[in-house]
């Protein structure tokens, strides 16, 4: 199977450097027309310049591809709408959205200012929401769309000093879960990518030897698979250093405790069994939890 994007139009946010640049270059190399979006700010989100996005566009066009630059902040819905209009005016469609833009404002929760928490949530979560909202009607009418959220191991599993980033990154998984259900009838597939790569965002987190092993280009194959015509949906792929894994939000079989004044004590006594992962499932939707619990309760009370 060859993954090909000829005739497709992709928007990649935060594409002026790091992972976003690699995503944009790879999509263009395989035939996609690309909107290279980047505010051009610092790692903490301050400042702005169009130079980085224009440089990536130049790389793509010199290689024979098609690309346009856009400097919208993903936090500004009006600017995001204008970006999508720019793509439509230029190429007449939008097939792929790679939500990659992000910033870091790391500190322990005790020392973190709420403004820094809110800003990181606004860029990562609301930035993705804004972009999804702007392309959703187009993808619905086309009956085709591929959206990739950029989640993180920090969101999936936690990381000291990144409560804001972790909260935003796991929220994107929740957004993916519901949008994939709502988009299914129109062939809009929504997935998440959890990358480990040496970029401006992570340069202070790893020693130099590890940074050399964690090339951003190593993550790109996962993005291409998640954005392809044959893409899965509701899939979380982890990628780094040439290795790929899948992450899942699962539910154990649990146990029926029932009611009564001593229910908390009986629950505590059986907690280890309830946490046992033998036979765990990946629910098809949020209603699966309630169905599981009601089915068990009805069988026990029959």
Active-site residue numbers? 165
Rounded CA Rg of the chain: 21
In this structure, what token pair is assigned to residue 9?
A: 């139009």
- From the number of C-beta atoms within 10 Å of its C-beta (0-12, 13-18, 19+), residue 7 rates as exposed
234: CB partners within 8 A, 6+ apart = 176, 177, 180, 181, 190, 191
Q: What are phi and psi of 174, to 5 degrees?
A: -60, -40
């Amino acid at each position: 199977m060859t993954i090909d994007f000829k005739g497709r139009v992709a928007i990649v946010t935060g594409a002026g450097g790091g992972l976003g640049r690699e995503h944009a270059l790879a999509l263009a190399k395989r035939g996609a027309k690309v909107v290279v979006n980047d505010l051009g700010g610092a790692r903490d989100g301050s400042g702005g310049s169009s130079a980085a996005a224009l440089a990536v566009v130049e790389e793509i066009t010199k290689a024979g591809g098609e690309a346009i630059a856009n400097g919208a902040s993903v936090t500004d819905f009006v600017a995001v709408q204008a970006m999508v209009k720019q793509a439509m005016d230029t190429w007449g469609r939008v097939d792929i959205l790679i939500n990659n833009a992000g910033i870091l404002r790391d500190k322990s929760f005790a020392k973190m200012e709420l403004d820094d928490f809110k800003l990181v949530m606004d860029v990562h979560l609301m930035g993705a929401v804004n972009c999804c909202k702007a392309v959703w009607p187009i993808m619905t009418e086309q009956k085709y769309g591929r959206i990739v959220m950029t989640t993180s191991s920090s969101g999936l599993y936690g990381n000291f000093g990144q409560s804001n980033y972790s909260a935003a990154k796991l929220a994107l998984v929740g957004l993916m879960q519901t949008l994939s259900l709502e988009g299914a009838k129109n062939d809009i597939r929504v997935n998440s990518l959890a990358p480990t790569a040496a970029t401006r965002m992570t340069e202070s987190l790893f020693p130099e030897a590890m940074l050399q092993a964690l090339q951003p280009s190593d993550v790109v194959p996962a993005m291409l698979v998640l954005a392809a015509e044959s893409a899965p949906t509701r899939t979380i792929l982890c990628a780094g250093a040439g290795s790929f894994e899948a992450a899942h939000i699962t539910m154990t079989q649990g146990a029926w405790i029932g009611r009564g004044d001593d229910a908390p004590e009986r629950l505590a006594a059986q907690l280890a069994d309830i946490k046992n992962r033998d036979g765990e499932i990946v629910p098809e939707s949020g209603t699966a939890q309630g169905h599981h619990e009601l089915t068990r309760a009805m069988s026990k009370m029959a």
